[in-house]
Structure 1
Amino acid sequence: MRKDLWKTVAVARLLGSSLFVACGVTPLAHAEEAADGAPIIVTARGRPEAEIAVPDTVAVFSRDDITRRRLTTVDDFIAETPGIFMINDQDPGTNLISVRGVSTNRNQSPSIAYVVDGLALADAELFTLRTYDLERVEILKGPQGALFGRSASGGAVNITTADPTDVAGGMASLGIGNGFTWTADAVANAPVSETVSLRLAGSYRNTEGFIRNTYLDRKVDGQISRNLRLKARIALTETSTLKLRAGWADEEGGAAYISSGNVTQLYAGRLSGKALTNPFGDFEGRAARDWWGLQATFEQTLGDDLNLTWTGGYDDYHKDFVEELDFRNTPLTFYGEPTFPNGIQPISQPVDLQAWTSELRLASRGAGPFRWHMGFFFQRTERGRTDDLGPLLFGAEPQRAKTRSNQIGIFAQGSYDVLPALEATLALRYDRDRRKEDTLGTQSDQTYARRAQTFDKWQPKISLAWRPTNDLTAYVTGAVGFKAGGFNPLPGPSDIWTADFAAETTKALEAGIKARVADDRVRLSLAGFVTDYRNFQNTVFLGNSVVLSVPRVDVHGIEASAQADVGQGFRVDGGMAWTRSRVGRYTTPNPTPEPGEPAILDLKGKRTPNAPDWTLNGGLDWSGAAGAAIIDARLSVAYVSRVDFEIDNILHSPGYTSVDGRVGVTLGSWTLDLWAKNLFDKRWAISAFGQQQLPLLLGLGPDGPFDSFTINTGRQFGLGASRRF
C-alpha cells in the first residue's frame, strides 16, 4: 500500500509539473495559516495558543483545509485523522467512534466529547448533524476529561462555526452528483450596525442514494437534509460581547439498508468479495429526525488580567426509526418452526432528547509565566427511547426507557513556566453524574423498573513541555478519563447480563515531539502512548442491545504526521497511527453455545470492536495560476486495516484503501469544483453483527443461519459551482 501511495504521489506531481510548464500555469504558495510563519492557533486547552505548544496530539482543520479536502460531515474529518475511526450504523443518529482503541458503545454515553462553539453536546445522536460554514475543527486524542469532563475518555472533537464579522458579504453554491444528488449551501454576513453583526448559513442535500435493494428494486439509502443557523454578535460595551446562535435541522430518508448472508460459515467471517451482497429484505427501513437548538455566550474582560465567559444552550431532538430485523424476503422459520410468516417487522425505536447545558469560566489573560482558568459545568439531559420489537414481543406491550441525567463538573487548570523553556501544566476536574431511569409500558403506563445510580470521578492531567525554541516542543502527558455507566434492559432469570453496568475509566501516558523546520515549510509530529482501559462497555445483541463490561483492555501505539511545502506549488501531507487494542482479561458465558463448544469463553487477546490496528492517510496538493484563474487540486489516499465488528473477532472487514480527488478552478468570485470520493469504487462493510453474538440470527431460516452487515456507498462524484459576494 505504501509503495502504491508514493507512486501515486510521484505521478501526480509529474503530471502537475508538466501541466503548468506546457500551459503557462504559475505555481502558487498555499494560503495556510502557517504560510508566512504564523502559528496555527487552537483552543485545545481552553485558551487560544499555538498548536505546536500544546502537549497533546491535535489534528487541526482550517477553513482552507475544509474547502480543499471537501469535508462536509464529521465522518469526513475523522476519516482524515489517523488513530480515530467511526461507524455509522442502522440510522443517521446511531454512531460508534473509536479513538486509540477506546470505543463508544451503542445507545449509551460516548467515549469522545463533541464540542460546538465551546459547548459540549449532550448525546451521540447529535454528533452526525450536518457540518457547514465552519471556521475550524480540532480533534484531540487521548483522555481529555480534565477539560471536557465525562465522555471524553478517548478524546474530543472541538468545532468552531464561523462568527459574524463587520464586513458584508457571503457565498452561495450549487452542486450535482451521482445518485441524483443535489446540494445547495449559502452564507450571508450582515453588519447591522457598529455593534451588531448577523450571519445566516444554510445547507441542503437531497440524494436518491447509492445502495439498491435487489428485492424491492430501488435504492434504499436516499436522504434529504435541511439545515439553518443564525448567529448574532453584539458588542455590549468596549469590554463585553454577547453571541447568540439558533440552529435547526430536519432529515429524512432510508435506514437499516442491511444485507445478510452466512458469512461466518461460508467465508470464515471475512466480509469482502462475494460475501458483500446488496440488501434484499422485503421491508424498507426509514428514519426521520429533527433538531433545534439555542445558545448564548457572554464574554467580559475584567481589567487587564481576567476574562469571564458564560455560555448556555438548549437542544431539542426527536428521531423516528423503523426497520425489519430479519433482512430477508421470505416467510421465516425459527429453528425449523414456521414462526414469522410475515417476517420480523416493523421494528420501531423512536428517541426523544432535551438537554440544558451551561458553563461558567474565569481565565487569566496575557502570556505571563502563570496561565490559568477555572470553571463550573452543568448539564441536564432527558432522554426517552422506545424499543418496540414488534413480532418478537409476542403480544406483550413495548417498553420505553426514560433516562434523566444531571451532571455537574468543577475544573481548574494552571500552566507555569518553571524555566524559560520548560512549562508544567496541572489540570483537575471533578464530575458527578446522577442518573435515573424509569422503564414504562407504552400502553399501560405501568412502571416495570425504577433505577438510579451516581457516577463520579476526579480526572487529573499533568504535562511537562520543553520548548527550546518556538519551532520545537517535546512533551510528556499523563491523563485520566471516565465515561458514566448506565442501565441495561431488565434481565430475565436465565440472562447473562446485569441490570446496571459500571463506569468506564482510562489512564493514559503519552510522550511526543512536534517540530517546524526549513523556515516552517515542514511540520512534523511523533507521539507514543500507553492506555490502561478498565470496564470497557461492550455492546452485545442478546435479544436487545445490552452492555457486558470487559474488566481490562490493554492499549498502546504510536502516531506520526508530516506536512511539507515542497515547492512549485506542491504540498504533501501524511499521517499514520498504529494502535494495538487487545482484551486483557475477559471471560463470558457463550451467548450461542453449540454442541461441543465451551459454556464459558475466554476472549483474552482479542481485538476490541471497531478499532483497526492501522490507519494511514496521505495527500498531495497543488496550486497554480493560469492567467486570471487559480487552479487548486488535491489527491488523497486513506488506508484502514482489519476492522472487527464484535469482540469474538469472527465477523470482520479486511483492510481497504480509498482514493479521493478534487480539482477547483477560481476565476474572480466564482469557483468550479470537480470532485470524487472512493474514486476506484472499492466496497467494504461499514458495520455488522453476527450469528455468534445474536441467537436470533443463528436460529432463523430458511437458508440460515446468517449474519447481517451494511455495505458502503461505493464511488461518489460530482460537480459544484460557488460564488462569493
Structure 2
Amino acid sequence: MGRTNHHRYLGAGIFTGSLAILALAAPAMAQDGLVLEEIIVTAQKRAERLQEVPVSVTAFSASTIEDAGIKTAEDFLSMSPNIRMVQSFTVGNSFVTVRGISQINNNDPSVAVVVDGVPQSNQKQLAQQFFDIERIEVLKGPQGALYGRNSIGGAINIITRQPKDKMEGSAEVGYASGNTWSATAAVGGPVVQDKLLFRAAVSYQDSDGLITNTFLDRKADFYQDKTGRLQATWMPTDSISVDARASLSRTEGGAVLYSQLPTNGFSNATWIKPEENVLGESQRDMDDLSLKVDWDFGAATLTAITAYSRVKESYRGDLDFSSVQALGQGQDLDVEMISQEVRLTSPNDQPFRWIAGAYYLHTDRSLSTTVFADTDSTVAGFVPLMVFGDESNDNDAYAVFGQGAFDLTDKLELSAALRYDSDKREQTDLLRASAVRQKTFSKWQPKVTAKYQWTDAVMTYATYSTGFRSGGYNVPTVTPPVFAKETTTNYEAGFKATMADGRLVLNGSAFHTRLSNAQIFKVDLTSGAQIIDNIRRATLTGLELEMQTRLALGWDLFGGIGLTDSEIKDFDGTASYRGNQVPNNTKFTLNAGSQYSFEITENLGGLLRIDVDHRGKQYYHADNTDFRRKITLIDLRAGMTYENWSLTAYVKNLTDKQYFSEYGDAFWTGSPSGEDVGQLSRPRTFGVTAKVRF
C-alpha cells in the first residue's frame, strides 16, 4: 500500500459538474506524470487493452476488488452504471437487471456469466462468495454474437487468480454485524518449475442474520457458505497448456422472508418486518469441473473447454406470509449441465484478426413445486398437501460462431460477428401421465462494429448487436402454455478517452434497444401455477458515462452515470400499460467515490475510501403502480497495512436506508392473503477484516 500504485480503480463516472472541473484542471495535473492502471481484458475472447475495446465495459482489477471489499456480485454490480442486482427468496436466487432487461424466476439468466472461460448456464450460480479473484469484466448491451444465448442484456466475465511459478498465498478473517464470521485462504505455486502449477482457495462464511422476524423474534436471513476451488495448470511444451479446475460449494440460509403489506396503496415509508409463523430455509449445492486445453500452433490458437456443472437447490417457507398457521410452500430444483466449446483464435498482431468456434450444452433439469400443510409452524412439520408442478427437462443447445476484425487503415477498424444458436427443449410433465412437449428455439445473432482511433488516447465506435433468450414451457393448463423467445436489437455509439497524460479516463456510450417478447413473471393463484409471459414490444433508450482521475499521488476519484428510459409499446395486443416502464427498470443510476492511499511511515500505509450508490425510481411491475423511490447508499472503508499485513474496518449502508429490495403486488404474485409482499433490504452493517500475504 503506501506510496505504491497498488490501490487503483478502473470504472468511472461522477457528477456532470465535477467532470467539467476535472477537464479544466487536467493540464495542471498532467505535470506529475502519474498514470492510472492499465487493465487488459478478454471481453472479446482475446486479450486487449480495456481502452481499445469497442464495447461498454466496466472492469475491476485485483487491487480494486480488494480495496473496495468486493465479496459478492451485488458489490461490484452496484459500482457499474445501468446494472443492479437483487438477491432474495432463497440463498441462490438473484435478479440482475441491465439496461431494463431483467432476470425472472424459474428462467434463464438475463446476462451471460463466464468463470475462467466456462459459461455458468443457470442463474442460481451467480449468487456466491467472490474470493481470490484476479479480474471482473461487466459488459453492457446484447453480446449474443460471442457469448450466445442468454447474453441478451450483457455478460459478466470473471477470472480467478491464476497459478504462478512463484509460491504465494494469503489468508483473511473477518467479523461483521449479525455475528457474521468469515475466512478465506489461498495458496499456489509450482509443483514442477515451469511445467506444473497449482492454486487452491477456500472460503467460509457464517452469519446469524440481520433481518428479524418479529413474530418469532428470530433472525430470518441466517446464512452459511462453504466453498473450495482447486486448479492445476500443466505446460508440457511452450505451445500447449492444460488447465484443470474443480470447485465445490455448499450454502444454506433463510428463505421466503417476506413482509406483508396492505394493498391500499404502496408506501415507501411503510417498513413492516417479516411476521411469518414459519422460519424459511433453503439449501444450495454446486459442483463444477472443467478442463481447458490451449494449443498455439502459430497460425492460430486452438482452445477446447469441457465442463460439467450441477446445481441443486431446495427451499421451504410460509405460503401466506403471515403469522397464521396455515400453508407452506417448497420447491426442489436439480440441474446437471455438460458443455463443450472448441474455437480457433488468430494472433493479435495481424491486420485481419478472427475467431471461429462451436459450442454444445446438454442440460437435465427437474423442478418440483409443492404446497404443504403447516402442522406445527416449523419446516420439519410440513406435510405435503398438493404438488402443483413436477417436471423433467432434457435440453440440447448448439451454436456455431465467428468473428472477424480488419484494419482498413491504421485508424479505422471494421469488425463483424455472427452466431447461430439452436436450443431444443423437451419437457416431461410427470403430473399428467408423463406428457412430453418438444420445441426448438433458435436465432441468428449478428453484430457489426466500426471503430475509429482518432489518437493513441481517443477512440470512438458504433455498433449494431443482437441478443436472444430462449422461450420455454409453463404448466400446460395455464395461459400461455408456451412462452416465446425474447430478442433484442441494439444500436449503440460510444467513446473512450485517456487524457491528462494518463491521469484521466472518460468513457461513454448511448444506446437504443428494440425489445421483443420481453419475459415477465407472475403467479396464477387459482391454479397455483408460476407463469412466465411476454411483453410483445418495448424500447430501451439510454446512456452511460464513466470516469476516473488521479487527483494526486495515491488519490483517485471515480464514478459512473447510467440512464435507461424504457417504454412498453405493446403489452398484449391491447392498449394495456402502453407507455409504461418495463418491470424492474431503474431509470437512473449513479455510482461515485474516492480513494486515498498514503504513507504513514516507511513500512506503514493507510487507505480511506468512500463509495456512493444512488438509485433512481424503480418500477416493479408493468402497471407501474408500485415503485421504489430514489435512494442513496453510502459505504466507507478505512485500512492500514504493515509489510504483508493489512487491517480494514468498514461500514455498509452508512445512513441505514431501508427499502424493499424486492416487491410484489398481490395482482402479480398471487398472494394468498390478497396483500402485497416485499423483502426488506439489509440494514447498516459494520465489519472488520485482517489479511496476511505470504
For each residue in 1:136-168, what CA deviation from the matched residue of structure 2 results, as whole angstroms up to 9, or x when unmatched? 000000010000001011100010111111111
For each residue in 1:374-428, what CA deviation from the matched residue of structure 2 results, as whole angstroms up to 9, or x when unmatched? 1011111111110112359995445311112111110000000011100000000
Of residues 486, 492, 495 in structure 2, which corresponds to 1:504?
Answer: 486
The corresponding residue for 1:547 is: 532
TM-score, normalised to structure 2's length?
Answer: 0.92
Instruction: Look up the equivalent residue of 1:87 and give its one-letter code.
Output: V
Instruction: Look up the equivalent residue of 1:453 and give its one-letter code.
Output: K
Please, which runs of 5 or more residues in structure 2 have no aligned partner?
11-32, 375-382
Q: Is the 8 A contact 2:202 2:227 kept in 1?
A: yes
Secondary structure of the residue aligned to 1:519 is: helix
Q: Are the structure 2 counterparts of residues 418 and 351 from structure 1 closer, same or farther at C-alpha, using a change threshold of 3 Å?
A: same
2:416 matches 1:426: yes
For each residue in 1:664-712, what CA deviation from the matched residue of structure 2 results, as whole angstroms up to 9, or x when unmatched? 1110111001011111111110112112324544xxxxxx642111001
Q: Is the 8 A contact 2:8 2:36 kept in 1?
A: no
Instruction: Look up the equivalent residue of 2:286 and give its one-letter code.
Output: W
Q: Are the structure 2 counterparts of residues 285 and 237 from structure 1 closer, same or farther at C-alpha, using a change threshold of 3 Å?
A: same
C-alpha distance in 2 between matches for 1:199 and 1:694: 45
Q: Is the 8 A contact 2:199 2:231 kept in 1?
A: yes
Of residues 575, 580, 583 in structure 2, which corresponds to 1:609?
Answer: 583
Q: Is the 8 A contact 2:142 2:152 kept in 1?
A: yes
Q: Percent identity among equivalent residues?
A: 31
C-alpha distance in 2 between matches for 1:188 and 1:132: 12
Secondary structure of the residue aligned to 1:226 is: strand
How many Å apart are 1:662 and its aligned residue? 0.8
Q: Are the structure 2 counterparts of residues 394 and 571 from structure 1 closer, same or farther at C-alpha, using a change threshold of 3 Å?
A: closer
Instruction: Look up the equivalent residue of 1:640 and give its one-letter code.
Output: R
2:75 matches 1:66: no
Please, which runs of 5 or more residues in structure 1 have no aligned partner?
1-24, 331-342, 589-599, 698-703
2:638 matches 1:663: yes
How many Å apart are 1:447 and its aligned residue? 2.5
The corresponding residue for 1:260 is: 260
2:611 matches 1:636: yes
C-alpha distance in 2 between matches for 1:435 and 1:694: 26
How many Å apart are 1:297 and its aligned residue? 0.5
Question: What aligned pairs does 1:154-173 form with structure 2 within 5 A after superposition?
Answer: 154-173=153-172
How many Å apart are 1:82 and its aligned residue? 1.2
How many Å apart are 1:643 and its aligned residue? 1.5
Q: Is the 8 A contact 2:164 2:197 kept in 1?
A: yes
How many Å apart are 1:49 and its aligned residue? 0.6
Q: Are the structure 2 counterparts of residues 192 and 642 from structure 1 closer, same or farther at C-alpha, using a change threshold of 3 Å?
A: same
C-alpha distance in 2 between matches for 1:289 and 1:405: 22
Instruction: Look up the equivalent residue of 1:649 and give its one-letter code.
Output: N
Secondary structure of the residue aligned to 2:327 is: coil
Of residues 290, 294, 300 in structure 1, which corresponds to 2:289?
Answer: 294
Secondary structure of the residue aligned to 2:70 is: coil
Q: Is the 8 A contact 2:6 2:63 kept in 1?
A: no
The corresponding residue for 1:406 is: 396
Q: How many residues align?
A: 658
C-alpha distance in 1 between matches for 2:86 and 2:543: 22
C-alpha distance in 2 between matches for 1:601 and 1:213: 42
Q: Are the structure 2 counterparts of residues 648 and 394 from structure 1 closer, same or farther at C-alpha, using a change threshold of 3 Å?
A: farther
Q: Are the structure 2 counterparts of residues 215 and 166 from structure 1 closer, same or farther at C-alpha, using a change threshold of 3 Å?
A: same
C-alpha distance in 1 between matches for 2:7 and 2:499: 17
The corresponding residue for 2:28 is: none
The corresponding residue for 1:435 is: 425
C-alpha distance in 2 between matches for 1:536 and 1:81: 23
Q: Are the structure 2 counterparts of residues 288 and 626 from structure 1 closer, same or farther at C-alpha, using a change threshold of 3 Å?
A: same
C-alpha distance in 1 between matches for 2:77 and 2:556: 21
How many Å apart are 1:89 and its aligned residue? 2.3
The corresponding residue for 2:677 is: 708
C-alpha distance in 2 between matches for 1:48 and 1:559: 24
Q: Is the 8 A contact 1:89 1:95 kept in 2?
A: yes
The corresponding residue for 2:461 is: 475
How many Å apart are 1:372 and its aligned residue? 0.6
Secondary structure of the residue aligned to 2:501 is: coil
For each residue in 1:87-124, what CA deviation from the matched residue of structure 2 results, as whole angstroms up to 9, or x when unmatched? 22211222221111112221111121011111111110
Q: Is the 8 A contact 1:510 1:527 kept in 2?
A: yes
C-alpha distance in 2 between matches for 1:35 and 1:409: 45
The corresponding residue for 1:684 is: 659
Q: Is the 8 A contact 2:233 2:241 kept in 1?
A: yes
TM-score, normalised to structure 1's length?
Answer: 0.88
Secondary structure of the residue aligned to 1:75 is: helix
C-alpha distance in 2 between matches for 1:27 and 1:502: 54
CA RMSD in angstroms, aligned pairs only: 1.9
2:406 matches 1:416: yes
Q: Is the 8 A contact 1:630 1:665 kept in 2?
A: yes
How many Å apart are 1:317 and its aligned residue? 1.6
Q: Is the 8 A contact 1:283 1:345 kept in 2?
A: no
For each residue in 1:417-462, what CA deviation from the matched residue of structure 2 results, as whole angstroms up to 9, or x when unmatched? 0111000000000000000011113xxxx53532111011110000
The corresponding residue for 1:621 is: 595
Q: Is the 8 A contact 2:7 2:64 kept in 1?
A: no
Q: Is the 8 A contact 1:85 1:611 kept in 2?
A: no
Instruction: Look up the equivalent residue of 1:426 and give its one-letter code.
Output: A
Q: Are the structure 2 counterparts of residues 672 and 260 from structure 1 closer, same or farther at C-alpha, using a change threshold of 3 Å?
A: same
Secondary structure of the residue aligned to 1:346 is: strand
C-alpha distance in 2 between matches for 1:459 and 1:367: 27
C-alpha distance in 2 between matches for 1:679 and 1:455: 47
Instruction: Look up the equivalent residue of 1:145 and give its one-letter code.
Output: G
